[in-house]
Structure 1
Amino acid sequence: MAKEVRKESAAVAAMKTSLPLIRALLGGTGAMRAAGKDYLPQWPNEEKKSYDARLGVATLFPAYSRTVEVLAGKPFSKPLTLSDDVPTRIQEWCEDIDLQGRNLHSFAANLCEEALGPGLCGILVDFPTTEGQGLRTQAAEQAAGVRPYWIEVKLDNLLGWRSKRINGVDMLTQLRLLEVVTEDDGEFGEKHVEQVRVLTPGAWATYRKVEGSTDKDDWSLFDQGATTLKVIPFVPVYGKRKAFMIGVPPLLDLAHMNVEHWQSKSDQQTILHVARVPILFAKLLGSETEITVGANSAVKAEDRDADMKFVEHGGQAIEAGRKSLLDLEDQMRQAGAELLVIKPGNITESQTLADNEQGACALQRIAGDLEDAIDAALQFTAEWVGEADGGHVTVFKDFGAATLAEASADLLQKMNVAGTLSDETLFEEMQRRGMIRPDLKWEDEQIRLGTPTPGRAPVTA
Structure 2
Amino acid sequence: MVSTILGGAKAMRDAAQTYLPKFPQERDKDYQYRRSNAKFTNIYRDIVENLAQRPFSKEVSIADGAPKPIKDFVEDVDGQGNHLHVFAGELFFGGINNAVEWLLIDYSKDVPANATRADEARIGARPYWVHIPAPAMLAVYSDMVDGKEQFVHARIHEPALERDGFGEKTYNRVRVLNRDPLDGGGYAPATYQVFEEQKGKDGALQWVSIDGPKPISIGIIPLVPFITGRRIGRSWRFHPPMQDAAFLQVEHFQQESALKHAKALTAFPMLAGNGVTPPMGDNGKPAPVAVGPASVLWAPANPNGGSAGSWAFVEPSATSLRFLADDIKETGQALRELGRQPLTAQSGNLTVVTTAFAAQKGNAAIQAWALNLKDALEQAFVITGRWLKIDADVEVMISTDFDLGMGDDETFVHVLAMGTGEAPIISREATISEAKRRNILSPEYDGDKDLAVIIREGGEDE
Name which of 398, 403, 415 aligns with 2:401.
398
1:126–1:233 CA contact under 8 A, matched in 2: yes
* Alpha-carbon distance between aligned partners in 1 of 2:30 and 2:173, rounded to the nearest angstrom: 42
Decide whether the 8 Å contact of 1:198 with 1:205 is kept in 2.
yes
CA RMSD of aligned residues (A): 3.3
Q: How many residues align?
A: 372
| Larger CA Rg, structure 1 vs 2 | 2
**Counterpart for residue 422 of structure 2:** none
Map residues 229-240 of structure 1 onto 2, 5 A cutoff: 229-240=218-229
**For residues 227 and 270 of structure 1, do their structure 2 counterparts lie closer, same or farther at Cα, with a shift above 3 Å needed?**
closer
Say if 1:326 and 1:135 are closer, same or farther in 2 by CA, change over 3 A. Answer: same
Q: What corresponds to 2:455 in structure 1? A: none
**8 Å CA contact 2:171, 2:197 repeated in 1:** no
What are the equivalent positions in structure 2 for 1:41-60 lying under 5 Å apart? 41-60=21-40
- From the superposition, tell whether residues 402 and 227 of structure 1 become closer, same or farther in structure 2 (CA, over 3 Å): same
Per-residue Cα deviation, 1:25-82 (whole angstroms, up to 9, x for no partner): 1011111111122111122232222222222222311111111111111111211121
Shift of 1:303: 3.6
1:228 maps to which residue? 217
The structure 2 residue matched to 1:370, chosen from 368, 373, 384, is 373
Q: Identity rate of aligned residues, in percent? A: 28
Kept in 2: contact 1:85–1:389 (CA 8 A): no
Change beyond 3 A, Cα 1:190–1:324:
closer
**Aligned partner of 2:13 among 16, 33, 47:** 33
SS at match of 1:337: coil
Give the one of 332, 337, 354 matched to 2:335.
332
Per the alignment, do residues 247 and 87 of structure 1 end up closer, same or farther by CA in structure 2, a change over 3 Å counting? farther
Q: TM-score, normalised by structure 1?
A: 0.72
Query: What does residue 262 of structure 1 align with?
Result: 253
Q: 1:385 to 1:292 in 2, by over 3 A?
A: closer
Seen in structure 2, the aligned counterparts of structure 1 residues 115 and 304 have a Cα distance that, compared at 3 Å, is same
Checking the alignment, whether the CA contact within 8 Å between 1:181 and 1:193 is kept in structure 2 is yes
Question: Do 2:192 and 2:216's aligned partners in 1 also have CA atoms closer than 8 Å?
Answer: yes
**1:89–1:26: structure 2 CA closer, same or farther, 3 Å change rule?**
same
- Choose from 171, 193, 204 the match for 1:193: 171
| 1:76-91 map, 5 Å | 76-91=56-71
Corresponding position of 1:249:
240
2:268 aligns with: 277
Partner Cα distance (1:66, 1:126) in 2: 33
Taking the aligned partners of 1:252 and 1:49, their CA distance within structure 2 comes to: 33
Indicate yes or no: 2:147 matched with 1:156: no
In structure 1, stretches of 5+ residues that fail to align are 1-20, 353-357, 408-461
Whole-Å Cα distance in 2 between the matches of residues 81 and 304 of structure 1?
87
Deviation of 1:125 (Å): 0.4
Q: Distance in 1 between matches of 2:113 and 2:290?
A: 91
C-alpha distance after superposition, 1:287-306 (max 9, x if no partner): 79998864463443444497
Residue in 2 aligned with 1:449? Answer: none
Matched AA of 1:59: K
Describe the shift of the 1:234–1:288 C-alpha distance in structure 2 as closer, same or farther (beyond 3 A).
closer
Does 1 or 2 have the higher relative contact order (CA < 8 Å, sep 6+)?
Answer: 1
Q: Structure 1 residue 379 and structure 2 residue 368: aligned?
A: no
Which of the residues 40, 63, 73 maps onto 2:43?
Answer: 63
How far apart, in 1, do the equivalents of 2:342 and 2:376 lie?
20
Question: Which shifted more, 385-394 or 272-281?
Answer: 272-281
2:298: which partner in 1? 297
List alignment gaps of at least 5 residues for structure 2: 179-188, 281-285, 344-352, 409-462
Measure, in 2, the Cα distance between the counterparts of 1:246 and 1:103: 30
TM-score (norm 2): 0.72
Contact 1:292-1:299 at 8 Å conserved across structures: no
